[in-house]
Amino acid sequence: MTKKPFPLSKVYTLIEPGPMVMVTTAYKGRPNIMTLSWHTMIDFEPPLLGCVVSNRNYTFDILRTTKECVINIPTVELAKKAVGCGNTSGREIDKFKKFRLTPVEASCVKAPLIDECYAHLECKVVDAGMADRYNLFILEVVRAWIDPRKKDPRTLHHRGKDVFMASGKTIRLRNKMK
Amino acid sequence: MTKKPFPLSKVYTLIEPGPMVMVTTAYKGRPNIMTLSWHTMIDFEPPLLGCVVSNRNYTFDILRTTKECVINIPTVELAKKAVGCGNTSGREIDKFKKFRLTPVEASCVKAPLIDECYAHLECKVVDAGMADRYNLFILEVVRAWIDPRKKDPRTLHHRGKDVFMASGKTIRLRNKMK
């Protein structure tokens, strides 16, 4: 793998703009992938994320049982595969095989990284108390990785149904906010 | 105002791609604005949102007291004003005056819409139980508005500090997910 460690204090810069992410889990040695856009930063450091995973998804029970996952961030080149992973269920197929994605061992969790993605956040579920009511899991990022070769990654953003958006031009503005 | 009502069932299409939003509140007749990027959809219909508002912000106490706000979505034309609203505190200034923004009366809440934004979600705080621990408010969208003249709105997305991103080109892919 050609990724390098990414500082935990900067994880918010990857999640805050709202990219579609591919969440990997592993249960009894079998890895799985789901695609989602319903997430938010909750705190800067240690980086906490809120992730909404429908209880109809295979990933919901696995997250609750294993308390681990990896948030992988794809770029536009992966659009078809990311959408494909969202349209299928890990109950029926092996998505790594079906979509020709490469699992890479993570360092702190059993869920694999997806090598084709440009960034990865290894996460522990630190609070599942809102899972019953809101399908909401609080994740702590314990390790982060980024592809140093991707200088200006085009992230994917979902606008509903068949419509997706690629991140566009960069705007620089003096800003006191983190 | 030239906005038209927007169906509640489609609110997720506005929030899911992760735009920066300008949150308006009103306390004792005085309106205020804050800018934030830490939000996620929680449910489709009625549309529920999770919004993280730091307890250091003036808006935090107002949200908890009034249990109402409006989520206004700006486009890139408003970038400087949106960032300006994020860099100042309503404890000290009237941001509508300072940034020459136009308050418009909402229909279901006392907080005003910002006329210059292209979409507006009138919200009630339906659960503040996670505000102490995570600064997280659960909002229900009770009314939504959109500017029918903006066919391809360029939303703003924050990448940390001085770096912002404008939404880019549209990609269409067959998708079974909502």
Would you write out chain A's pLDDT as a tens digit for each of its 178 residues? Answer: 789 999 999 999 999 999 999 999 999 999 999 999 999 999 999 999 999 999 999 999 999 999 999 999 999 999 999 999 999 999 999 999 999 999 999 999 999 999 999 999 999 999 999 999 999 999 999 999 999 999 889 999 999 999 999 999 999 999 987 8
Cis bond upstream, residue A74 (ω within 30): no
Q: Is the pLDDT of residue B85 over 80?
A: yes
- Please write the tens of the pLDDT for every residue from B86-115: 999 999 999 999 999 999 999 999 999 999
Domain of B152, in residue numbers? 4-166
The whole-angstrom separation of Cα A157 and Cα B68 is: 28
Cβ of residue A89 closer than 8 Å to a chain B Cβ: no
**Closest Cα partner for B39 from B165, B122, B139?**
B139
**Closest Cα partner for B24 from B71, B74, B83?**
B71
Cis bond upstream, residue B5 (ω within 30): no
Q: Let me know if residue B178 belongs to a domain.
A: no
Å between B59 CA and nearest CA of chain A: 15
pLDDT band at B177 (very low <50, low <70, confident <90, very high): confident
Q: What CATH number does residue B94 fall under?
A: 2.30.110.10
Q: Let me know if residue B172 belongs to a domain.
A: no
Q: Is the pLDDT of residue B8 over 80?
A: yes
Å between B100 CA and nearest CA of chain A: 19
The CB density around residue B128, as the number of other CB atoms within 10 Å, is 14
Which H helix or E strand runs over A48? Answer: strand A48-52
The whole-angstrom separation of Cα B38 and Cα B137 is: 11
Cβ of residue B8 closer than 8 Å to a chain A Cβ: no
Among A11, A40, A146, A152, which would you mutate to test the B interface (most chain B Cβ atoms within 10 Å of its Cβ)?
A: A40
Under 8 Å CB pairs connecting chains A and B tally to 177
8 Å CB contact of B174 and A166: no
Q: Let me know if residue A176 belongs to a domain.
A: no
Q: Let me know if residue A51 belongs to a domain.
A: yes
Which H helix or E strand runs over B133? Answer: helix B131-134
Residues of A in contact with B79 (CB under 8 A): 171, 173
* Residue bearing the bigger pLDDT, B1 or B12: B12
Strand A48-52 to strand A113-114: parallel, antiparallel, or no bridges (unpaired)?
A: unpaired
Q: Identify which of A157, A162, A176 has the shortest CB distance to residue B173.
A: A162
Cβ of residue B99 closer than 8 Å to a chain A Cβ: no
Instruction: Classify residue A164 by burial, with Cβ atoms within 10 Å: 0-12, 13-18, 19+.
Output: buried
Q: Let me know if residue A174 belongs to a domain.
A: no
**What is the sign, positive or negative, of the torsion defined by CA atoms of B139, B140, B142, B145?**
positive
* The total number of structural domains that make up chain B: 1
Residues of A in contact with B169 (CB under 8 A): 165-166, 168
Q: Is the pLDDT of residue B39 over 90?
A: yes
Mean pLDDT of chain B: 96
Report helix, strand or coil for A130: strand
Q: Let me know if residue A71 belongs to a domain.
A: yes
Q: Is the pLDDT of residue B67 over 80?
A: yes
Residues of A in contact with B86 (CB under 8 A): 175-177
Nearest CA in chain B to A154: B168
8 Å CB contact of B134 and A136: no
Q: Is the pLDDT of residue B77 over 80?
A: yes
The whole-angstrom separation of Cα B20 and Cα B12 is: 14
Q: Judged by CB atoms within 8 Å, which residues 101-140 of A form the interface with B? A: 130, 134-136, 138
A18: left (phi over 0), alpha (psi -120 to 50) or beta: left
| Residue A160 one-letter amino acid | G
Q: Let me know if residue A142 belongs to a domain.
A: yes
The whole-angstrom separation of Cα B105 and Cα B97 is: 16
∠ CA A114-A115-A120, nearest 5°, is 65
Average pLDDT over residues B130-141: 98
The whole-angstrom separation of Cα A111 and Cα A36 is: 16
Whether the CB-CB separation of A48 and A140 falls below 8 Å is answered with yes
* CA distances to A111, B3, B105 from B109, in Å: 44, 17, 9
Its pTM stands at 0.96
- b/e code A100-138 from CB counts within 10 Å (16+ = b): ebebbebeebbbbbbebbbbbbbbebebeebbeebbbbb
Cβ contacts of A153 within 8 Å, gap of 6 or more: A73, A75, A118, A119, A147, A167
Q: Identify which of B13, B37, B175 has the shortest CB distance to residue A83.
A: B175
The whole-angstrom separation of Cα B92 and Cα B88 is: 8
Q: Is the pLDDT of residue B73 over 90?
A: yes
Q: Let me know if residue A145 belongs to a domain.
A: yes
Among B158, B172, B174, B178, which would you mutate to test the A interface (most chain A Cβ atoms within 10 Å of its Cβ)?
A: B158
Per-residue model confidence (pLDDT) at position A176: 87
Whether the CB-CB separation of B42 and A52 falls below 8 Å is answered with yes
Tokens read off for B108? 């279901």
Q: Is the pLDDT of residue B2 over 90?
A: no
Residues of B in contact with A174 (CB under 8 A): 83, 162
Nearest CA in chain A to B86: A177
The CB density around residue B38, as the number of other CB atoms within 10 Å, is 23
